[in-house]
Structure 1
Amino acid sequence: METKAMRINGDDLIAIGYIPSPALGVALRINQKRHGLNRNEMMTFYAAVLQDPTAYLDHKIFAKLAKSLIEDAEERALNNTIPLKKKAEPYAIYGKEQIEAGALKQMNIAMQLPVTVAGALMPDAHQGYGLPIGGVLATKNAIIPYGVGVDIGCRMALTVFDIPVAHFEQNKELYKDVIMNNSVFGAGHGFRLLDRTDHAVLENKLFQENAFIADLKDKAWQQLGSSGGGNHFVEFGILEFAENDAPLGIAKGAYLALLTHSGSRGFGATIAGHYTQLAKNICKLPYEASNLAYLDLNTQEGNDYWLAMNLAGDYASACHEVIHQKITVALGAQVLARVENHHNFAWKEQLNGEEVIVHRKGATPAGKGVMGIIPGSMTAAGFLVRGNGATAAINSASHGAGRQMSRTQATKSIDTKGFQALLDKADVTLLGGGRDEAPIAYKDIFAVMQAQTDLVDIVAQFSPKMVRMADDGSRED
């Protein structure tokens, strides 16, 4: 006869990790028969099945319990998942005929987030992770790490020099040496200790107050003033103003200019990875929206990411400042104007009378009168623009031409001889780079610009002439 000490009840099972649920009832019913097992043996099985129910789906005694535990877990996951809106909020699409279906699908999902207020898709849009590249999303008090992107604060910077165009054309070897001696490219690459540059950004208090950020300080210092791989570049080109531009103080004519594209390097990428995973752990969204996991800015985690993101943006700006300063000094040039803008970032802005968080993942800020740079490709024109402040576009524009081919497709679509022929035709000297960044990989920049005439006015056109890119095959964007 079973004594009281030998019995197994619900409290016993709860003590080893079971929770009140249908599975608990199944477990107690199995215990009524005992199946020749004593109390200790039954408790050992109960613990093992709870630990890994899939291993007991075919067990002659505990299969029903294993199945019930799995069903319970699935039901709890479903109940804990934050539901999406049943229908995507409407949003403006610019140049829709040039945008792939995958990017449109991603944007539609983003527009179903419960925190979404408004959105827009730029004409250079293509599929990414979470929010499509070229996607603009306004949210209510929520920040989406993958809505910002991996390369936090990636940006364009343009310096206009007082150097005659003819001087560049007659001294290309000099300019080649200047670029090669004052730029470092590639994923993971940086400077030796003696060659590193100090900058005020490294004195940001987060490097003392946040242990996670503090551990990244040496990496940030090592890579300060360097550029990534992929589509990042440092290039000389000819900037042509068709009219006088009073706000910049530039007269009509052609000028030698330096244009750079890069971001926050390994520092920003590590921040992005850390907080993306944290957001996914906290914010459980349906599978199709999981890469859009967000953090509430009223929480410690949300505030920590906001501060880290802003630091990464400042760091990216510092990298461009160092590059432009080094090259300006090396040339002995006078600076006539400098313009900088960033993407892969989030801003607190006013939209229709309320404060929102505007994510621009591969989109250029284009508020009324705001200056920006929209590049084409290594041979195609880029544009210096001034924003029109279009509300439907959430004060945004494209950040470039946008890819129309994957890197693999581009490499397969053109051989080395054909690639060089394109460079020769455009009179472009390429230092580094590869066929994965060939001009054919990108959309027609003139079609992209035509699709956003409501968003920006063109101030000047930039023609690349000497382009430095990573030559190690790295794909850090």
Structure 2
Amino acid sequence: MSLTGNDLKGAGFEEGKALGLALQAMEKNFSALSAADQLSLLKQVVADPAAYQQDEYLGAVANQLLQPADPIISLEAPKAYTVYGAEGIEQGAMGQMQTAMQLPVTVGGALMPDAHQGYGLPIGGVLATHNAVIPYGVGVDIGCRMCMTLYTMPTSLLQQKTDAFKKMLVDNTRFGLATFKKPQDDAIFERKEFQDLNILRGLKDRAWQQIGSSGGGNHFVEFGVVEITNAIHELNVPVGQYLAVLSHSGSRGLGANIARHYTDVAMNLCKLPAEAKHLAWLGLDTEAGQEYWLAMNLAGDYASACHHQIHDRLAVALGEKPLAMIENHHNFAWKEKDAQGREIIVHRKGATPAGKGVLGIIPGSMASPGFIVRGKGLAASISSASHGAGRLMSRTKAKASISPAAVKAMLQREGVELIGSGLDEAPMAYKNIHQVMEYQKDLVDTLGTFMPRIVRMCGDERFQEVD
């Protein structure tokens, strides 16, 4: 198991570059040692750094320990940014975005109408930086995404054979801690990053166990009805009604561990004031920054592979070949160009890419429609849109204030069958998706809608709808 920043603090390290260098040294050169032996060695270095200054592997750590403490990086005056639907966004999220706009590496930003407070960059925050990537600007669930497959099957089947469709979801999806007894192999596991990066070597087995499964929380797989109102010519999808599968999930334990590890590294290398500490960045011209970039992209591709396996399993169960697939992701960082043609790093934490012509899916809740959209590439939004309706209330408040009876009544009114889910994911816990879409009408064109009919989420045994 890899050491963490807290482990090293317990061994006598203080916040700073030495801690980050020590983590890297242990991963690269001492991974064969047990965690206890690694800590024992590092305690010796802390106790007498001068004795290790010429050491091939620990010299950099020792020399850094002998340096004066790292100065705090000063924040700048906040740069201007655009807010969409400000009246529906809590002050905590606005404050976090304001802090992000004060970073020396920041060159632009925008806040989407589904925004709410998170860690570091708010959920729904878009931040453009120069030559720097912020692990908490990407988020913990790296590469979380929406994926939809469309079928020419009659949508009436969802009502006529509801039990059969529910069984398909139960048999072919797994959530939270549940995984398949026999996971399917995938080409993603041949990627060289699993061999080249120490952090990934120890995560490969767990990633294999979780392939094809979904996380907890707001992740779902559902059958529903799509109404295409503007033909999607590049996918050969004409105007009409389609049976569809929609999934929402991310990179599981793989992404979470990558995020935690490189956030620790960033916070130890990049010292910021307390209010900005979760916005610590890694320079893309540094080894740690390049490692994170490779690991982040692998996690995003792994998330995509999970979705493709979900949709492949359900295609087999349906006995049909899908007409088309639409997929987009958030919780990621992209290399893009600004209006002057300069490369920028665009973080979209809970925000959907909406470049000119780019297809995307913006879901509502389990009892409200999602939208199939095409981006307009608006510069003020940094070519972005919301990634969903956004939370109206916290999970704690939702559990305390929403009754199972009220949720059940709403789902019956909307004709939605639910498998699993807790009260924190009740439809009332989310913003009005129609209002959110109105706030961003300048950012995307609507091509169609998706209405959930049979929904599966991670189960909460206090509130189950499964027979």
Structure 1 residue aligned with 2:115 = 125
| Matching residue within 127, 130, 144 for 1:154 | 144
Question: Quick check: 117-126 or 209-218, which moved more?
Answer: 209-218
TM-score, normalised via structure 2 length: 0.83
Structure 2 residue aligned with 1:180 = 170
Structure 1 residue aligned with 2:207 = 220
**CA–CA distance in 2 between the matches of 1:96 and 1:473?**
37
Task: State yes or no: 1:300 paired with 2:290.
Answer: no
Structure 1 residue aligned with 2:4 = none
Task: State yes or no: 1:452 paired with 2:440.
Answer: yes
Structure 1 residue aligned with 2:54 = none
**CA–CA distance in 2 between the matches of 1:219 and 1:226?**
12
| Matching residue within 81, 101, 109 for 1:91 | 81
> How big is the shift at 1:246?
2.2
Structure 1 residue aligned with 2:427 = 439
Structure 2 residue aligned with 1:326 = 313
Task: State yes or no: 1:236 paired with 2:223.
Answer: yes
**CA–CA distance in 2 between the matches of 1:165 and 1:191?**
29
Structure 1 moving runs of 4+ over 3 Å: none
Contact 2:144 2:249 in 1 (8 A): yes
Deviations 1:84-128 (A, max 9, x none): 10x210001101111000000000000000000000000000000
Structure 1: tracts of 5 or more residues without a match: 1-50, 52-75
Deviations 1:182-203 (A, max 9, x none): 00001x33233xx111000011
> How big is the shift at 1:473?
7.2
Contact 1:229 1:473 in 2 (8 A): no
**CA–CA distance in 1 between the matches of 2:198 and 2:265?**
16
Structure 1 residue aligned with 2:242 = 255
Structure 2 residue aligned with 1:268 = 255
| Matching residue within 368, 375, 381 for 1:380 | 368
Letter of the structure 2 residue corresponding to residue 263 of structure 1: G
Contact 1:348 1:357 in 2 (8 A): yes
Other structure's SS at 1:113 match: coil
> How big is the shift at 1:243?
3.6
- Number of residue pairs aligned between Structure 1 and Structure 2: 397
Distance 1:191 1:140, change over 3 A: same
Deviations 1:404-438 (A, max 9, x none): 10111111222111110011011100000011100
**CA–CA distance in 1 between the matches of 2:402 and 2:209?**
36
Contact 2:158 2:453 in 1 (8 A): no
Structure 2 residue aligned with 1:190 = 179
Structure 2 residue aligned with 1:339 = 326
Task: State yes or no: 1:110 paired with 2:97.
Answer: no
Other structure's SS at 2:213 match: coil
Other structure's SS at 1:181 match: helix
| Matching residue within 73, 77, 90 for 1:82 | 73
Contact 1:109 1:289 in 2 (8 A): yes
**CA–CA distance in 2 between the matches of 1:244 and 1:155?**
23
Structure 1 residue aligned with 2:267 = 280
Deviations 1:286-330 (A, max 9, x none): 000000000001110000000000000000000000000000011
TM-score, normalised via structure 1 length: 0.81
**CA–CA distance in 2 between the matches of 1:98 and 1:265?**
30
**CA–CA distance in 1 between the matches of 2:283 and 2:400?**
44
Structure 2: tracts of 5 or more residues without a match: 1-46, 48-67, 463-467
**CA–CA distance in 2 between the matches of 1:275 and 1:322?**
28
- Give the RMSD, CA atoms, in angstroms: 1.6
Contact 1:162 1:334 in 2 (8 A): no
Letter of the structure 2 residue corresponding to residue 466 of structure 1: I
Deviations 1:379-411 (A, max 9, x none): 011000000000110000000000010111111
Structure 2 residue aligned with 1:392 = 380
Letter of the structure 2 residue corresponding to residue 399 of structure 1: H
**CA–CA distance in 2 between the matches of 1:165 and 1:138?**
42
> How big is the shift at 1:472?
4.1
Other structure's SS at 2:299 match: helix
Contact 2:147 2:248 in 1 (8 A): yes
**CA–CA distance in 2 between the matches of 1:243 and 1:214?**
46
Letter of the structure 1 residue corresponding to residue 422 of structure 2: G
Other structure's SS at 1:335 match: coil
